[in-house]
Amino acid sequence: MATRDEVERLARQVLAEVLAGGAAPAPAQPGRRTPLVAANWKMNLLAADARAWPLKFEAPAGVEIVVCPPLVLLPVLREALGASSPVALGAQNVHPAAKGAFTGEHSCAMLRDAGASWVIVGHSERRAMFGDTDAFVAEKLRAALAGGLRVILCVGERLAERESGATFRVLRAQLTAALAELGFPAPDPAALVVAYEPVWAIGTGRNATAEQAQEALAFVRERLGERFGWTWAQAARVLYGGSVTPANAAELAAQPDIDGFLVGGASLDPSAFSAVAAATARAKERR
């Protein structure tokens, strides 16, 4: 019996054939998009590490770099990078309220005040460990965009969901919930990035193959096209996140629908993160 993903894949192929020459999804055109490589330090490193990190990081030309340290390190890293640095700063979470009795949380205005211009929303660890539902992720996304932050929206399936053939169903549900109430006009595609992070590959040393990542991100781009139109989807950037290292970055970055990475563990080492960014830049030049 065919899995849900196999049925979905066949349906997409049939639809593309029926609409050939009309509204069928166009192949990705990565040359139009500036690659983005983002670092998620999670709950790691201290102030001394943040001060030293920029000394060993080399930002390649043609790649947008975002670093998301723990919130308390944002001002430290901002000072260490200096005003002329091309590196943008991001936060790992945001609360949708502007202010109030939300102990331990931080608003968009607070993040901007600390130096952040980006924020990660919907990371699988927030969903699994802290109870962030699809509805709450959507609320955070809307608040962040309205609050002047650029967003990296994370989506991805668990191992059991992949093994049961439910990857596309999970991705569709997460994207539909997150994007449903954004309204029109559509957000600036430069301000909304989607990162596919298969949960089974995060911090496990087990990464999706280049083919698996490409298939998932092509599906994500198609869903963005359904929601905001194909011109928007072709301009938007979609990233892969899940045990990205200097060893696998080049093969992954060569895929037409992978516009960069959300890097966890490897981003703690500025030399390793530099290598991932450089591999992304080289792959972009060759495509």
Which sequence positions are flagged as catalytic? 123, 197
Which structure tokens are listed for 121? Answer: 């929303």
Q: How many other β-carbons are positioned within 10 Å of the β-carbon of residue 249?
A: 26
- The crossing angle, in degrees rounded to 10, of helices 74-81 and 47-56 is 30
How far apart are alpha carbons 61 and 34 in whole angstroms?
10
How far CA 209 is from CA of 215, 243, 247, in Å, comes to 10, 11, 13
Q: 152 with 119: CB under 8 angstroms?
A: yes
Reference 237, options 195, 267, 187; nearest CA is 195
Do strands 64-68 and 118-121 pair parallel, antiparallel, or not at all (unpaired)? unpaired
